[in-house]
Amino acid sequence: MEKVAIVTGSSSGIGFETALALAREGYRTYATMRDVKKGDRILDIAKKENLKINVIELDVNNENTIKKAVECIISEKKRIDVLVNNAGYFLVGCLEDLTISDLKDQFETNFFGVVRTIQAVLPTMRSQKSGTIVNISSVAGRIGFPVTPGYISSKFALEGLSESMRYELFPFGIRTIIIEPGVIKTNLFSTLKKATKAESPYKDMTEKVMKGLLMMSEMGTPPQEVAKTIVKAVSSENPLPRHPVGNDAIMFLEAKKDKTDMEFENYIKKELFS
């Protein structure tokens, strides 16, 4: 029986590599994206490697495209085994610099977009009494950092959603997995949305933190490593709830576990501002 996977945000980065990795494991993979014109690269690779990849339109902010995509997949394959919720973006700006509209837009994509897509596939997964949902969170879903409170809040919300889902869905044979990358070497920083204004009192802080993040991204974990982690997790009989990826993610999470709140706060201040 051919297994079927859906990956959102597959035009680049983690989504791109995950769609390829799942297809190489034998999944019929639906690499979804807002603009299917960006699907040429993944289709070229699929053709060369004889991979079963379909590129279809899916905008996580548009319920109609989600419904249409899922209906198309069910019509063609009659099942959905894996959903990888990867689509999202990175909003930069300290809280005072952000408008309510900025924050709503961030949550619309990073949180509500995930909810919409999950709700669209659940009836199928429940009826087949199986399925795996993979939510791409971040180490920033467990640890607060300055300058990106909108992004971090959306990932904290995604962590809570995922924990709740694990309890709700396991009676139906559906598994929920959280992936927590650190700084990954992707185009995240070239496509980020920046809300900090030139006259902002947080301008210097923002520039310093972003400079550090950009340096980290140059040495960041390749997105292929995230894809490998996802494939390993979905292939496991009893996957762990959370899967950190990258030495930086593991380092920060271990430090938080071993320190008091104040000790960890001082540790982060030293890492970011010294």
Give the active site residues. Answer: 151
Q: Return phi, psi of residue 256, to 5°.
A: -65, -35
HSE value, Cβ hemisphere, 13 Å, CA-based, for 130:
10
Q: Return phi, psi of residue 237, to 5°.
A: -70, -40
H or E stretch including 56?
A: strand 53-57
β-pair partners for 30: 6, 54
CA distance 102 to 86: 20
CA distance 155 to 63: 21
Q: Which of 45, 65, 46, 67 is nearest to 57 (CA)?
A: 65
HSE value, Cβ hemisphere, 13 Å, CA-based, for 174:
27
SS3 45: helix
CA distance 262 to 274: 17
CA distance 35 to 140: 28
What is 163-221 written as a DSSP string? HHHHHHHGGGTEEEEEEEE-SBSSSGGGS-EE---TT-TTHHHHHHHHHHHHHHHHTPB
